[in-house]
Amino acid sequence: MLQSLGYQIERIVPPIPPDPPGLREIDRKEVEVLADKDFQRSCQAVASISFLDISRLASLWTLCRLTDPTGAIVEIGTYRGGGALHLSNSAPDRKILVFDPFSEESFEDLDPILDGLFSRGQFSGHRKENVEALLVGRDVQVVQGFFPASVADLSLPKISFVHLDVDVYKATKESLDFLLAPGVLAAKSLIVIDDYNRRADGVNKAVSEALAVVPGTLVFPLFPAQALIVPNTWQSGSVV
Rounded Cα gap, residues 72 and 53, in angstroms: 24
Element (H, E) at 35: helix 32-35
Sheet with 96-100: strands ordered across: 140-144, 96-100, 72-76, 159-164, 185-194, 226-230, 218-222
- 106-111, Cβ contacts within 8 angstroms, sequence gap of 24 or more: 107/167, 107/168, 107/171, 108/146, 108/170, 108/171, 109/168, 109/170, 109/171, 110/168, 111/168, 111/169, 111/170, 111/202
Furthest CA-CA distance within the chain: 56
pTM: 0.86
Express each pLDDT in 205-216 by its tens digit: 999 999 999 999
Strands 140-144 and 96-100: parallel
Lowest mean pLDDT among 67-76, 109-118, 182-191, 213-222: 109-118
Rounded Cα gap, residues 92 and 138, in angstroms: 8
Q: For the chain, which domains are there? A: 56-230 (3.40.50.150)
Q: What is the mean pLDDT of the chain?
A: 85
Express each pLDDT in 76-85 by its tens digit: 999 889 999 9
The answer to whether the CB of 86 falls within 8 A of the CB of 52 is: yes
pLDDT bin (cut points 50, 70, 90) of residue 15 is low
The answer to whether the CB of 204 falls within 8 A of the CB of 71 is: no
Express each pLDDT in 129-176 by its tens digit: 999 999 999 999 999 998 999 999 899 999 999 999 988 888 999 999
Instruction: Say if residue 92's pLDDT is above 90.
Output: yes
Within 8 A by CB and 6+ apart from 86, the residues are 42, 43, 45, 46, 50, 52, 57, 60, 61
pLDDT bin (cut points 50, 70, 90) of residue 42 is very high
Express each pLDDT in 113-122 by its tens digit: 767 666 655 5
